[in-house]
Amino acid sequence: MIAIKQTDTAPYRVSQPIAREWYAVMLLERGETAKARGLLAEALTLYETTGMLFHAKRARERLAQS
């Protein structure tokens, strides 16, 4: 969560969804599906609004698999 807080305050908006997706992947591996799905949904929205379509597709697929 520290990385997410840091990216939210940094001027580099593209790092925000990446931090969320990485954290969500870790949560999925630990079996914390509900929290991971929330972070993946946030990441997906941020990817789409910043035009990161390849990343959005990956996040959408991870969300569908979880």
pLDDT digits (tens, 9 = 90+) for 10-58: 999 999 999 999 999 999 999 999 999 999 999 999 999 999 999 999 9
Under DSSP, the state recorded for 66 is: -
Confidence of residue 60 (pLDDT cuts 50, 70, 90): very high
* Total tally of structural domains belonging to the chain: 1
Confidence of residue 1 (pLDDT cuts 50, 70, 90): confident
Q: Quick one: which of 51, 63, 55, 64 has its CA closest to 18?
A: 55
Domain that holds residue 16: 2-65
Q: What is the DSSP string of 1-65?
A: -HHHHHHHHSS-TTHHHHHHHHHHHHHHHHT-HHHHHHHHHHHHHHHHHTT-HHHHHHHHHHHHH
